[in-house]
Amino acid sequence: MRSTPSGFRRRGRPLDEQTNAPGRGPSAELDVAASGLEPRPGRPGRARSAILFVLVAAAWFALDVATKGWVSGGWQEGDVVTGPILGLVRFHLVHNTGMAWGMFGDSTFALGVLSLAVCAAATAYLFAFSKRPNTLETTGIALVVAGGLGNALDRFTLGYVVDFIEPVFIDFPVFNVADIGVTCGFAIFLAGMALAWRREDRALDAAAPTDGEGAGPR
């Protein structure tokens, strides 16, 4: 009885020259190895985004808690802590149970729940739905989340939000560091999205064939 040499066909299926495994040739082995060594896109970028997110959110949250603790520690509601600073703002301690301009007064708990929901949605978007968030997008959402958590903490533990920054050159509600994070963070996030869209448009324009390219013979 004659044996079939390695590398020849047996029942129409190729044999690997080294392993005699049916259906896997040298090219298949190389493809498998290449696929195993190929880096998975997006993971390093997401790790950097997560680190930046945690650092920015933690720093802004700590700043908000520290400033509220300082102004609440030595003064009572209604006290003017400082006079106008550079003619722009003064520190005036206010306990806010609603939103800006007195809207939704005495809705502290509901507004706290809403703040947590917004923070959860923003974080989910950044890490679950955004394909490749850039630095501006990550920083903006981190500020929004830090501000939302800071005000929610006040609402659940104190029953009101500690506001103390009052502009003196315009008629504007008293606010705090958390409010600055939410407002500026949202603006930074929009700027990051606009930048990402612009880069995508440039990449599509660069990849598009110019006149005369890509056309085959007629």
- Active-site entry in 79, 163, 205, 211: 163
> Between 108-124 and 135-157, two packed helices, what is the crossing angle to 10 degrees?
160
Q: Exactly one of 31, 154, 171, 179 is catalytic; name it.
A: 179
Looking at this protein, which amino acid is placed at residue 56? V
HSE-CB for 60 with a 13 A CA cutoff: 29
* Alpha-carbon span 162 to 154, nearest angstrom: 7
Going along 60-214, which residue ranges are E strands? 89-96, 161-167
Residue 179: active-site member:
yes
Torsion-angle region of 103 (φ positive above 0: left; ψ -120 to 50: alpha; else: beta): beta
Active site residue 211: no
**DSSP assignment of 126-139:** IIII-SS--HHHHH
Which residues form the catalytic set?
163, 179
